[in-house]
Amino acid sequence: MSNYAAFFTGQKDAAAPAATAAAERPRYRILFVDDEPSILKALTRIFRAESYEILTAGSGAEALARLKEAPVQVIISDYMMPGMNGADLLKQVKSLYPETIRIMLTGHADTGAVMGAINDGAVYKFILKPWNDDDLRVTVSLALEQFDLVQKNRALSLENAKKTKEISALSRMAVSNRSQLGTMLHKKGLITSAQWQELTRQQGIQKEPLIRLLLDRGWVAEKTLRKILREELLVEEVSLGEFRVDRAVAELIPRSFCRKQLIMPLKLEGRRLMLAVADPMDAGLIDDIRFTAGLDLKVVMADLAAIQAKIAEVYGDDDGVDIRDLETMVGVVDPYEGIEIVIDDDEAVPLDELLASTNEPPAIRLVNAILLEAIRLGASDIHIQPKTKHVVVRLRIDGVLQDKIQIPHALHSPLVSRLKIMAELDISERRRPQDGRITVKSPLRIVDLRISTLPTINGEKVVMRILDRNSQVLSLAGLGFGEAGLAKVRVMVDKPQGLLLATGPTGSGKTTTLYSLLQANASPAKNYITIEDPVEYYLDNAGQVLVREKIGLTFPVVLRSILRQDPDVVLIGEIRDYETAEVAFHTALTGHQVLSTLHTNSALATIARLLDLGLKPFIVASALEGVIAQRLVRRICRQCRRQVEVDRTLAARLGPRFDSLQAAFVGEGCVQCGGSGYHGRLGLYEILLPDENMRDLITRSASIREITSHARATGHESLWDDARKKIALGETSLEEALRVLGPEPE
């Protein structure tokens, strides 16, 4: 009888054995809350035969005070109480002690208020007065079972999370894949020595299970493999369709790891996990799982297709996002196979470990789809811009950004990480901008991508400039200078020394113009050297140097070095600072022809920009042989072009020189232009050839106003003059000229 005394007194008998079942059973605490003492006594009497610790409170405030003293597993509260009613009390309990099971006991007729508390999640269940004692005992018993279940699930979740983290870490490592399957097949004469070596080499490169590589190539039938493993090695083969895999067991190993390594956990018996594998001879994989999971393994084998089907059945066949429209979007069967990363040999970095973590669809498929779509449409830039509700992929086509693809926010992080890994950037750094480059090989062509990341309030924005290695250099006549402009350009190109500059904003075609100038008088008798970041056109007859600022290979450093290479023509990608400008002008003054670019708004503004960099006026006057300022506008589609009346409002906004315009053209939209009315682009040019009087003005540090007045007096034409000519000829429109040039400055 002494053993049962503890049920009433709360004290253990000193003589009772310490290890009795009653002593080991958890002691539950139940709190009854009611403003009527008789109700509290009745409730306490109902549970006096149970091994619960009973607490009582006469109000909501007193109940909260009791809860502060020690946690309780179940609280049963009356609804109608002065001060704080039961619903408000249980809402506070839910907020402060979410693990406590909350029951409401009420005789109040306002069931709407009571159900409101239940709908808010504050109440597990409610019981109406007068209650049935047995029903109340059963309700409390079920509530405690619910409490225990929650605790067990939480413990299991924590354990599973720990195991998942450990195995995920393992999956990011290069799994040691010490499979003897290839050796066995080679000894049996089922594969040749060359095939064995190829399997070993490919496994080292791709970090894929050997059995997947073997079966993909079809060198040995899977039935043959299974027969050998079953009969000679006595490996047990199972039918996965007969197993019902518990969710808790499945969560012991991440889906990505199962799919990558072709394994499937089946059931857990104590500390022994039954694991189905496609390759039971992969001792490295099995040892790694045994070590990381901390479990004994019973390894069985199953067909590769059966394992993949079971993974899809248990874990689900998708990654949480539906990207079914990718095939339609890119126009190829599978964009996953459409892109190959090209890494320079001299910059080879062991990316296998990093790539393994993002080597899962849809991240790779999505990146490849975006790149293929951009290349197919002839885009010059790709913008991946996160917004509040989604991520937008925008492509710059013919100089205009267009929204093309919308991506769920859940894919933004893996998408950016995949691009960073491809560009060898720091995937862990998300707070600072980063720049890099990617060379990719698509089914269409090889392109270079210049990538830039920028942290924004909605996430990292990524912009990629597409540089096509196969782009053809245009002839001078094909650039669209016009007869007078082409004559000026030929004069500056024919000069054997001096500096020729192409100016304009980013994306205005400056580098294309430079290469056309370079090839205008190309001769095997001359030594051509280019210094670029990045190299945009590839020329066999030129020595092309790629600037790498990370290792100190900057424009000035390379420039000083190439003067010892006996160059005749030097192309510098961009003059960015005084140091580069000084070396470039020094090179031009020492008998070399130098071509470069500069960011200025007009040809005449280039002179001011060079002086602003710190160059001396007489050096600028002596070395500068020509400046081409340019912009790119969309060309009106020739198939659907028609003449219209001049929009005088637009003409007035552009400037007074457009007032006399007699004709204008627009594109109506057709199949060739995709309905936009424009197809392709053309250049607007301002060409400056300094004469002796202008050189004298520059040397005397004359103002830009004086230099501009002299240029206009000698027939110099601005960008707006060229725009007016091409609008009148029907090459472009008033809207395009206003979009690109804006109003003409007075």
Summarize pLDDT for 315-337 with one digit per residue, the tens. 775 443 333 333 333 443 444 44
Strand-by-strand arrangement of the 593-598 sheet = 542-546, 528-532, 569-572, 593-598, 498-503, 624-636, 678-688
Q: Which of 241-250, 595-604, 692-701, 713-722 has the lowest mean pLDDT?
A: 241-250
What's the pLDDT at 292?
A: 66
What's the pLDDT at 201?
A: 77
Summarize pLDDT for 21-80 with one digit per residue, the tens. 444 445 788 888 888 888 888 888 888 777 788 888 888 888 898 888 888 888 888 888
What's the pLDDT at 22?
A: 42
Number of H helices and E strands in the chain, helices first, is: 30, 24
DSSP 333-397: S-GGGS-EEE--GGG----HHHHHHT-STTHHHHHHHHHHHHHHTT-SEEEEEE-SS-EEEEEEE
Same fold, 181-315 and 340-468: no
Which residues are within 8 A (CB) of 628 and not within 5 positions of it... i.e. 6 or more apart?
Answer: 489, 500, 501, 502, 503, 513, 603, 685, 686, 687, 688
If pLDDT is split at 50, 70 and 90, which confidence band does 89 have?
confident
To the nearest whole percent, how much of the chain has pLDDT over 70? Answer: 83
Summarize pLDDT for 566-592 with one digit per residue, the tens. 888 999 888 888 888 888 898 899 889
Whether domain 476-634+681-717 has CATH 3.40.50.300: yes
| Average pLDDT score, the chain | 79
What's the pLDDT at 563?
A: 79
If pLDDT is split at 50, 70 and 90, which confidence band does 627 have?
very high
**Average pLDDT value for residue range 429-436:** 87
Span 29-131 CATH architecture: 3-Layer(aba) Sandwich (3.40)
* CATH number for region 181-315: 3.30.300.160
If pLDDT is split at 50, 70 and 90, which confidence band does 453 have?
very high
Summarize pLDDT for 126-151 with one digit per residue, the tens. 677 777 777 787 778 877 877 777 77
With 60 as the cut, is the pLDDT of residue 114 above it? Answer: no
Written as one letter, the residue type at 138 is V
User: Is the separation of the CB atoms in 646 and 661 below 8 Å?
Assistant: yes
51 CB-side CA count, 13 A: 13
More confident residue, 661 or 164: 661
**Average pLDDT value for residue range 539-554:** 79
Cα→Cα distances 632→373, 484, 682, Å: 23, 19, 6
State the fold for domain 340-468: Beta-Lactamase (3.30.450)
What's the pLDDT at 118?
A: 57
**Distance of alpha carbon 437 from alpha carbon 254, whole angstroms:** 33
The domain spans of the chain are: 29-131, 181-315, 340-468, 476-634+681-717
